[in-house]
Amino acid sequence: QVQLVQSGAEVKKPGASVKVSCRASGYTFTSHYAHWVRQAPGQGLEWMGIINPSGDSTTYAQKFQGRVTMTRDTSTSTDYMELSSLRSDDTAVYYCARDYRHALDFWGQGTMVTVSS
Amino acid sequence: QSALTQPASVSGSPGQSITISCTGTSSDVGGYNYVSWYQQHPGKAPKLIIYEVNDRPSGVSNRFSGSKSGNTASLTISGLQAEDEADYYCSSYTVSGTPWVFGGGTKLTVL
């Protein structure tokens, strides 16, 4: 069965960086794009970006360009999302999700990132 | 402000049908058949319930259906059940610089 397992919760200080991982299993990793989405406490979903199956192409939401980097390691079926220059309003649950026909069909369990001094 | 507009809340009684709208523009909802809908229960990850406007993933109840007219997409839930109480989000592929956008979400209350 398809599973996306994300890394654990993080607490970071303003200005720091965070790197979240998402390990995939149960399907052919290199046949699907992957999205990253975040959700601030009590707020809606916010799309951050997408990485292609081979990991050599990314598209980021304009809001995050210059601060976010998405990578993937096909040898371990793992996607990574790194967000830099963290601010308090980056406090959110970060999700990875598999792409299927321009929809997000399987999601990770989410990783809580708290930015606080 | 979200790119796609949804009502903040809707409600219905068990057994009734409700419809949630999702309004965008010709650059997103109106321009592509890549509208999807997600159900999210508190503390849980979102779950895909509709993709490509009106297709259901395997295992999703046929009580959920989607449609689109012009720049507005809709999710209809028939035969409301208590377990349907959740937040619902629409999403669309878009030609803009940010290629995927979400609606602000709709809280469904089953009375």
In 3D space, the residue among A79, A66, A103 whose CA is nearest the CA of residue A30 turns out to be: A79
Query: Residue A80 and residue B7: Cα distance in Å, rounded?
Result: 34
Which pair of tokens denotes residue A62?
């304009």
**What's residue B1's pLDDT?**
56
Question: Whole-number mean pLDDT of chain B?
Answer: 96
Q: Which of B58, B98, B106 to mutate against chain A (most A CBs within 10 Å)? A: B98
User: Hey, of A38, A57, A104, A109, which one would you mutate to test binding to chain B, going by the most B CBs within 10 A of its CB?
Assistant: A104
Q: B39 φ, ψ to 5°? A: -110, 135
Dihedral, CA of residue B65, residue A42, residue B85 and residue A6, to nearest 10? 70
Least CB-CB distance to B102: which of A45, A100, A106?
A45
For every residue of B59-83, DSSP letters joined together read: T--TTEEEEEETTEEEEEE-S--GG
- pLDDT, tens digit, 9 for 90 and up, residues A7-38: 999 999 999 999 999 999 999 999 999 999 99
Residue A57 token pair? 């192409």
